[in-house]
Amino acid sequence: MENRIILHIDMDAFFPAIEQRENPQFRGLPVVVGADPKQGRGRGGVSSASYEARKFGIHSAMPISQAYKLCPEAIYLPPNFELYSKVSGNIMEIMRGFSEVMEQVSLDEAYIDVSKNFTIVNKTSEKDVWKKAEEFAGKIRKAIWEQENLTCSCGVGPNKMIAKIACEKAKPDGILMVKADEAEVFLEPLDVQKIPGIGVKTAQILRASKLNTVGDLKRLSQDDMEELFGIRGEAMYWKVRGIDEAPVVAEREVKSVGKEHTFEQDTRDPELLIQTFEELSREVAREIEEEGFSFKTITVVCRFTGFETHTKSKTFKQPSKSSAVLRAEAMKLLLKFIVEKQKFIRLIGVRVAC
């Protein structure tokens, strides 16, 4: 896995950017895509916010009522997933025109392995090769802008992890290149939560032990890391040193179908919960039947009072198209939530993925 060059391309504020493109009068204004705020009484969440809206502190997954308090004058729009999916398809097709070794990871982001395009032969050629890779990324961004009138950012790095983190730092509408010999130093000052696999709870535990930055975490031995992270310890030991061997999986088709429902009032009424969930499951089943879509993983999400959100999943050894299997297994997961958590429920949802 040596001498790789990976690009991570991510569209900038994808949903709001499309809305601003389709509605020029919204350009330069704070746009929030998500649930209806209902003058601050709405109970859904923010799907995405334009950079103008982010200046007010609005971000994805924030309660829509809180977003409204931060910026009541913003333009609040319901998601148009049909349009977003169509635009996503166009953008991914543009990227595939530049390289066959591309892995789409969501509607608006993908990895491209350009190692074969720009082979590093020796130290003398290395600088030129990285520069050409950066120029190549610029050509992709230019093509997306010219054909779709949307901006994107790109990280160029020796692996997927570095490329993704570099892309985040390049936003919006920029390129950041981090070469292999720069990766370790690049990571050191960053917050520990920037490392994939370190979530909010783990980060809190680390900070309590004065392990705030990647550099702090790097001081631990491999044995310490394995004690801290279990079976992920060895991988984490190398990640904090800028090493990530995860391959770019070419032509990975991302498919998922999901539905959610936010209750007007938090509830533990079993009849209402089960009735609503069965309808969500039927809608998902109808959609996968119409698309001829097979699934391997079922995920159920529950958001409780106070916005405490949890998921439960089941993955099968073989793909299935059975709506009966979907509905039965999803219901089992929901019932576990109801039994285990004696809290009122704000939102329920079900999603299947290949």
Q: What does the pLDDT look like over 145-194, one tens digit per residue? A: 999 999 999 999 999 999 999 999 999 999 999 999 999 999 999 999 99
- Distances in Å between the Cα of 166 and the Cα atoms of 8, 69, 179, 268 are 8, 32, 10, 44
> pLDDT at residue 251 above 80?
no
| Residues 6+ positions from 105 with CB-CB distance below 8 Å | 111, 252, 254
Write down the pLDDT at residue 253: 56
pLDDT at residue 2, as a whole number = 64
Query: What would you report as the CA-atom Rg of the chain, rounded to the nearest whole angstrom?
Result: 22
Catalytic residue of the set 19, 52, 103, 109: 109
H or E, element range at 128: helix 123-148
Determine the average pLDDT of the residues in 292-319: 85
C-alpha torsion angle, residues 333, 335, 336, 341 (rounded to 10):
130
What pLDDT score was predicted for residue 286? 87
User: What integer pLDDT is reported at residue 125 of this predicted model?
Assistant: 72
Give the model confidence (pLDDT) of 48-64 as tens digits: 999 999 999 999 889 99
- Expressed in percent and rounded to 5, the helix, strand and coil fractions of the chain are 45, 25, 30
CB 19 within 8 A of CB 116: no
Q: What is the distance of C-alpha 195 from the center of its chain? A: 14
Cβ neighbors of 140 (< 8 A, separation 6 or more) are 7, 9, 94, 95, 98, 112, 154
What is the mean pLDDT of the segment spanning 74-96? 91
pLDDT band per the 50, 70, 90 thresholds, residue 14? very high
Q: Is the pLDDT of residue 115 over 80?
A: yes
Based on the residue annotation, tell me whether 109 is a catalytic residue of this protein: yes
CA distance 324 to 281: 10
- State the pLDDT confidence band at 128, using cuts at 50, 70 and 90: confident
- Whole-number pLDDT of residue 289: 82
**Whole-angstrom distance, CA of residue 33 vs CA of residue 223:** 45
Ranges 18-27, 175-184, 307-316: which has the least confidence: 307-316
More confident residue, 203 or 307: 203
